[in-house]
Structure 1
Amino acid sequence: MQSTLNRRLLLGAAVFIGMTGTACAQTRPSRNLTVFKTPTCACCDGWIAHMREAGFSATITVLPSLQSLRTSRGMPDALASCHTGLIDGYLVEGHVPAQDVMRLLAERPEAVGITVPAMPLGSPGMETPQGHKEPYDTLLVLRSGATRVFARHNQPT
């Protein structure tokens, strides 16, 4: 009786551990990024290189305009930039640093995605030969269209 109970406990523990490992593997954030850009965007290639260096794979789709893509997924026009990424159901708009994308995927907030509106100098893909860096924020875009600061970059010390 005791050995049967021990075998059942051991088998149950093994199944539980195996299922836990499977669940963890299934919830691992994706590193597959789809990038939508226009044919004339050169700085987009710098951002794509930044993302690839951080371990993301990037598939690039060139479109004449990105407005309908953004609008259909809930990204307000006022928060637009020159390219749009899509990863794990989130939009990544503009020159967002890879570490912000990793944090987004780890935290998984209820949101449309994150954005760096405009094209601030010193953001990934917008580096200058002189090393100029403007302070900028990465914004979390909520489903309501409201935003909140997700991360701050190049802040004066």
Structure 2
Amino acid sequence: MELSRRSFLATSAVATAGFAGCTGDSGDPDPPQQSTGTADWTWDGDVPVDSVVQYHQPSCGCCGEYVDYLERNGIAVSVEERPDFDSFVATKADLGVPESMRSCHTIEFGSYLVEGHVPLSAIERLFDDEAAVAGLAIPGMPQHAPGMGPPSDDPLTVYAFDDEGTRPFDDV
């Protein structure tokens, strides 16, 4: 199932705003710390990958929170920072992340890509199903996702993507 034009435009607007939030500098040398609720995200599953590579920009705090989430769950993360927006976007394009699925970080997770704040339960299902896709994504920067905030009663839609397009994969 393809995203509608309206969904595509809304997702693009959210992703652009999210990228801007990660690339901006507030000028405050000591910005206030906010609880992201990342510790509230629990997972007791297993994936056949023990280390990953995450690409993000140095100023993105929620990307660091997602790294903490992965590491707290036993996954070693090598961070590759992209200091300017153009190289950041080029990395996503080179890896094959569709524009409509983009978020603030991209992860090479074994043979798959993971775009954004995807819960490990969805990544585990990806490996369990041996899905024939390039990767998973939660576009933009949703408030109730690992690294962004505590879980909510409202499900997050995780999308699968490949050369053929995008489609819903899971609601977590």
Same fold (TM over 0.5): yes
Counterpart in 1 of 2:125?
Answer: 103
In 2, the alpha carbon distance for the partners of 1:99 and 1:132 equals 15
Counterpart in 1 of 2:61?
Answer: 42
Counterpart in 1 of 2:102?
Answer: 80
Counterpart in 2 of 1:68?
Answer: 90
**3-state SS in 2 of match to 1:101:** helix
Report the count of equivalent residues.
123
Counterpart in 1 of 2:24?
Answer: none
* Change over 3 Å in CA distance of 1:140–1:92 after alignment to 2: same
Counterpart in 2 of 1:123?
Answer: 145
Q: Which has the larger radius of gyration?
A: 1
For structure 2, the residue ranges without an aligned partner over 5 or more in a row are 1-46
Structure ranking higher on relative contact order (CA contacts 8 Å, 6+ apart)? 2
**3-state SS in 2 of match to 1:58:** strand
Residues 105-146 of structure 1, C-alpha deviation per residue, up to 9 Å, x if partnerless? 222222110000011111000016xx76754211011222x1
2:166 is equivalent to residue 139 of structure 1: no
Among all aligned residue pairs of Structure 1 and Structure 2, give the percentage whose two residues are the same amino acid.
28
In 2, the alpha carbon distance for the partners of 1:101 and 1:135 equals 15
For structure 1, the residue ranges without an aligned partner over 5 or more in a row are 1-27
| Equivalent pair of 1:50/1:98 in contact (CA under 8 Å) | no
